[in-house]
Structure 1
Amino acid sequence: MAIDPNQEFLVQPVDASWLQCNIECQEACPVGTNCRGYLNLAAEGRFEEGYILSREPNPVAAMCAYVCSAPCERACRRGDIDRPLAIRAIKRFLVEWHENSGIPDEMPLIVPRTEKVAIIGAGPAGLATARELAIRGYRCTVFDSLPYGGGTMLIGVPAFRLPREAIEMDVRLIERLGVRFRFNTTIGVDVTFEQLQAEFDAIAISAGAMEAVPLDIAGGELEGVQYGVDFMKKANLGEPVEVGQKVVIIGGGYTAMDCSRTSLRHGATEVTIAYRRTRSELVVDEEELGETEREGVRMEFLASPVEILGRDRRVAGVRFIRNRLGQPDATGRRAPVPIPGSEFVVEADTVIPAVSQAADTSFLPVEARFDIARGRVKVDPGTYATNVRGVFACGDFVTGPTTLIEAAGHGKLCAYAIDRHLAGRHDVEVDANVRIVSSWRHEMPELYDVLPRQHVPTAPLAMRMPSTDPEVNFTTPVEHGYAASAAVAESTRCLMCNYNIWFDGFRCVLCGACADVCPEGVIHMIDVNQLKAEGELPELVDAYGWDGGAVMILDEERCIRCALCVKRCPYDAITMERFELQEVSDDGRLYKESYRDAQLAGMIGVAGGAR
């Protein structure tokens, strides 16, 4: 491909931070999971090692194996070539393989401390906080009003998507770390907040956002209106659920999808989801939306509810108005703008609003004077501390509804902050040991670049609701997961972003053979004057002179690591370098968190010149 001689190229210097950021799946994960690492292990058939690596930084790995929103997949650079890796499906295979193997999970060696921490809420954020503090030796007790752990995952996600065994697996492993759980315990009823303050050295509030936000339209009081969070709680706890034949769900998130599919399993014959924006603005992933539509749910886009219509005090339908998309709002998405004269009615006998959820702060003592704004407790974003001494907060309780993995990431950071607070220090001295390993003979797996994304098998429609018993239908799994051969094939598609092409300028003779052999056309020889450089690179180029020279550049984001350039170079000027990093504290403890995780924990500083 010819290069415009007037085109400029932004070149970024390479340092440890850039190398870590370059592994984009791991960077996108809120808990810093080494996705690339466990994919590569799975590709080699080293399933138990892959499971251990996937579990290592993730307190809720089993739940994530089924219902993680998978930001790693959206970041996966394989998606720029064809389709991203099915990272969540591979994690599920590893989790299920481990469970079926009977191999016990190894527990870390814990040095006990005397400080006690109370954690309110056994959802993803609370479990993450408890796990990280327990590993650091703190005596943790988790309080929850529900009969089991899991929080929103337990009462908000249907069992046909998230088997209860996965929740139990995560809770069980955290319990083995010495964490005590007190279920069926409501703060303010069974135990007061003041009692917790007197007994514990610190309190972490991770009570989630499980209160429905009511619709501000007429008809909300009619019989047949039930809010999504309450509807799913009843269904998940085995309580009676009343659903008519024609159901309208208002909303476009995961709760709306779950409510629609749960309605079908409880006997509804017509289910419609009404969303005020377009399909492309939905926050759910395409797989979840696809399964929802495959089961017969009708999507009504660009529609906002105006009024819930009634007859004899029962729901009879919903009046909507059509929208067009206007300018972006505070969320960055284009705001829906009603179109005058475009109203229409959808018949219904059940309406389930699933537009948003809020935190319940009623258990907080008024005398403590928590700083609360718009229904959320305010915290210092750097320390997760509230304005009440010794009390911290995290997860959906602070941020509003997020995802499973985001809440877990929030909980981990809150645990780091509590650790610093109780230990009386601001940081931990950690040496970041970066290791670059040359690999002239690096070979990518056979067919890695042409293998298509492996289909994740699902149950046929006729088998998803096989019974007249709603409970049977509700617990019949839809997704079946990979067989070992499919997991290996899918993992083989990984581009191994921890490998990077390195040019040795002293050996290179600018013959251009590497550019000629590159199948993706990502290597170019350009005039040195076409460089736009950052950091120390301009000084380096100045030292050698800007005029009359040529340089080799690589579009790293499009490189598929085939190593043909390494093999083609006649002067061994190109190598494939494997990036490794370990962090070791001043007391000799090995930190296994990712580089980014260590930065967030206050362990190491951010290196300059990051992408």
Structure 2
Amino acid sequence: MRFAFLCREPVGSVKKRIAIVGAGPAGLVTAGYFVCRGYEIDVYDKLPYPGGMMTFAIPRSRISLSEVVEGWKDLEQNFSVKFYLKTKVAVGEGYDEGDEFVERKIDLLELSRAYDAVVIATGTWRSRRLGIEGENAKNITTALSFLYSRRLAEMGLARSSCFHSIKKVVVIGAGLSAVDAVEECLSMGINEVYLAYRRTIKEAPAGVYRVRELMARGVKWVELIQPKRIVVENGYARGVEFVKVQLGPLDETGRPRPIPIPGTEFVIETDLVILAIGEIPTPPIYSGDMIKYIDPSGKLNVGNDYRIPNTNIFAVGDVVTGPSKIGLAVDHTLKAVKAIDAMLSGEKVRVEDILKKLKPIEKKALGFTPWSDSIAKSICDFLGRYAEVYSDACLSMAPFIRVFDYSKCIGCETCNAICNFIHDGKSYIRIRKTDEGLIFPTSCLHCTNARCQSSCKRNAIIRGDLDEVLIDMKKCNKCMDCLYACPVKAIRISRGDIVNCDLCLPLRQGGLTPACISMCPFGSIKLVRK
């Protein structure tokens, strides 16, 4: 990942200092934007390394640690960003998951007096609890704590946990945290894993598709059951007593309310219980006047300017929106940083103007994956199954220039957020969602045998340096033949113009990689060359 995806060196000269509290995705994206604008950036985080949950929670099967390290090292070495780690910035005293590495504490209000602005990006480091009998047994953990302890052991920051003796696990919940916890259990060789949910698979926040993927791997899905108590012996959970439920009227979340059915209690025996019922935002405010800006769900309420009223303290990402996917946190952050920048600099900030300041580079250092026919088959089979694209038509247009590896993509939507930011609200990436809850991006594949090009009667579709598909707007008469010719529906109308992905041409001219590729957390977007 390259968090400073807009530049190779600062292209602005705003000589102001910003402190960022939190070094997860939102904090690092904030740093990446502001260093390109010429701000002096210091980042404070309670953990021993930057990256937040990308480093300390998400399974390695999903995200490579080297991707994250490369990103924050770039900020540190090439943009002089200072990281103050094992440091907790807060108002008052409080404890959240991940705080055990803290060696230094700084008062948030004192910090705000030392900088022109402070940006809070502390995410969601507190797990929800069930509030039932026996929940404090020794072998009960939360999804976050479970994943966190596994990452610490891998990095040599903690002793290897006792999880190696576990043979049977019950995971309670059906969101992304639950899916991550289950996948981690499977990677450990645990063969008997139950995934218990109080609604049906149709209401599972992770989506039907992800749950069925786990079921195909042997996970036992049990729906319409609700935990009633933990069966405890000698301080250890030996089972979970569930009660069957039926779905009633919609609750405040818009989902059917589970109603317990008396007399249907039963026990699932287990060696480990993982509570995966979600996380809560953790704003670094535990006391004082500013606590009034924290709502009952834990979210930090800020104004339309992303600021805590009457302060120079701003907030971005999940600490404001609540727990979400990486891409949604990034999207909120990118909208916020432009507003914060305009307030601090007094300038009307446009990404287009930032890109115009990039110094042209003759030799572009782009990375390519070697082309193989299997790439085309994988993409076209996937699109044929889930995106209403005829597989044969797709294959006839290969080879492709830019590809999506759908075996790695988890639908985090970061690519869409970045593309939307780069192109002033006109993302050239389309996020699709199937009835089974599978979320994935599609965009121009820059086909060698492009039907859009052969359909254009005015020769308005041309080729660039990489043989990518470009639209010559001087020739285009907006007949829309290309829209109907493209099987992927990548070309579209935006604000009256025919538009298509140009693989971030201004960035490439400045020696940078297309932004969707730079910022994909999972390395699932690639340039290929035959």
Q: TM-score, normalised by structure 1?
A: 0.55
Q: What is the DSSP-based 3-state SS (H/G/I as helix, E as strand, rest coil) of the residue aligned with 1:190?
A: strand
The amino acid that maps onto 1:134 is V
Q: What is the DSSP-based 3-state SS (H/G/I as helix, E as strand, rest coil) of the residue aligned with 2:232?
A: strand
Distance 2:79 2:60 in 1: 27
Match of 1:118 among 4, 15, 19: 19
- 2:33 alignment counterpart: 132
Q: Cα gap change, 1:383/1:211 in structure 2, threshold over 3 Å: closer, same or farther?
A: same
Match of 2:113 among 190, 193, 198: 198
Q: How many residues are aligned here?
A: 385
Contact persistence 1:127–1:171 (CA under 8 A): yes
Q: What is the DSSP-based 3-state SS (H/G/I as helix, E as strand, rest coil) of the residue aligned with 2:248?
A: strand
- 2:232 alignment counterpart: 310
Contact persistence 1:261–1:297 (CA under 8 A): no
- 1:155 alignment counterpart: 56
Distance 2:445 2:117 in 1: 45
User: Which of the two has higher C-alpha Rg?
Assistant: 1
The alpha-carbon deviation at position 428 of structure 1 amounts to 6.1
Q: Cα gap change, 1:286/1:456 in structure 2, threshold over 3 Å: closer, same or farther?
A: farther
Q: What is the 5 A alignment of 1:552-563?
A: 559-561=484-486
Q: What is the DSSP-based 3-state SS (H/G/I as helix, E as strand, rest coil) of the residue aligned with 1:191?
A: strand
Q: Cα gap change, 1:211/1:325 in structure 2, threshold over 3 Å: closer, same or farther?
A: same
The amino acid that maps onto 2:44 is F
Matching of residue 241 in structure 1 with residue 161 in structure 2:
yes
Distance 1:392 1:164 in 2: 29
Q: What is the DSSP-based 3-state SS (H/G/I as helix, E as strand, rest coil) of the residue aligned with 2:162?
A: coil
Q: What is the 5 A alignment of 1:292-331?
A: 292-331=214-253
Q: Cα gap change, 1:430/1:489 in structure 2, threshold over 3 Å: closer, same or farther?
A: closer
Distance 2:31 2:451 in 1: 33
Contact persistence 1:320–1:345 (CA under 8 A): yes
Distance 2:253 2:74 in 1: 37
What is the RMSD computed on CA atoms of the aligned residues? 4.3
The amino acid that maps onto 1:182 is Y
Matching of residue 384 in structure 1 with residue 301 in structure 2:
no
Match of 2:393 among 444, 447, 453: 447
- Could you list the runs of 5+ residues in structure 2 that have no partner in the other structure? 91-103, 354-389, 409-441, 459-478, 489-496, 505-509, 516-530
Contact persistence 1:499–1:578 (CA under 8 A): no
The alpha-carbon deviation at position 312 of structure 1 amounts to 2.4
Contact persistence 2:480–2:498 (CA under 8 A): no
The alpha-carbon deviation at position 456 of structure 1 amounts to 5.5
**Does 1 or 2 have the higher relative contact order (CA < 8 Å, sep 6+)?**
1
The amino acid that maps onto 2:223 is F
Q: What is the DSSP-based 3-state SS (H/G/I as helix, E as strand, rest coil) of the residue aligned with 1:186?
A: strand
Q: What is the DSSP-based 3-state SS (H/G/I as helix, E as strand, rest coil) of the residue aligned with 1:420?
A: helix
- 1:226 alignment counterpart: 141
Q: Cα gap change, 1:171/1:269 in structure 2, threshold over 3 Å: closer, same or farther?
A: same
Distance 1:354 1:318 in 2: 14
The alpha-carbon deviation at position 492 of structure 1 amounts to 4.5
Distance 2:445 2:255 in 1: 33
Contact persistence 1:420–1:427 (CA under 8 A): yes
Percent of residue pairs identical: 27
Distance 2:199 2:305 in 1: 36
Describe the superposition over 1:251-284 as per-residue Cα deviations: whole angstroms up to 9, x where unpaired.
Answer: 1112112212223444534211111222222232
Describe the superposition over 1:44-90 as per-residue Cα deviations: whole angstroms up to 9, x where unpaired.
Answer: xxxxxxxxxxx8xx8498xxxxxxxxxxxxxxxxxxxxxxxxxxxxx
The amino acid that maps onto 1:212 is S
Matching of residue 252 in structure 1 with residue 180 in structure 2:
no
The amino acid that maps onto 2:161 is V
Describe the superposition over 1:111-169 as per-residue Cα deviations: whole angstroms up to 9, x where unpaired.
Answer: 22221111100111111111112211111111111111111212220112211011112
- 1:409 alignment counterpart: 331
The alpha-carbon deviation at position 354 of structure 1 amounts to 0.9
Contact persistence 2:22–2:121 (CA under 8 A): yes
Q: What is the DSSP-based 3-state SS (H/G/I as helix, E as strand, rest coil) of the residue aligned with 1:376?
A: coil
Distance 2:170 2:300 in 1: 35
Q: Cα gap change, 1:365/1:194 in structure 2, threshold over 3 Å: closer, same or farther?
A: farther
- Could you list the runs of 5+ residues in structure 1 that have no partner in the other structure? 1-54, 62-104, 432-443, 459-486, 504-553, 564-576, 584-588, 595-611
The amino acid that maps onto 2:394 is Y
Q: What is the DSSP-based 3-state SS (H/G/I as helix, E as strand, rest coil) of the residue aligned with 2:42?
A: strand
- 2:438 alignment counterpart: none
Describe the superposition over 1:441-472 as per-residue Cα deviations: whole angstroms up to 9, x where unpaired.
Answer: xxx999327789998669xxxxxxxxxxxxxx
Q: Cα gap change, 1:555/1:287 in structure 2, threshold over 3 Å: closer, same or farther?
A: farther
Q: TM-score, normalised by structure 2?
A: 0.62
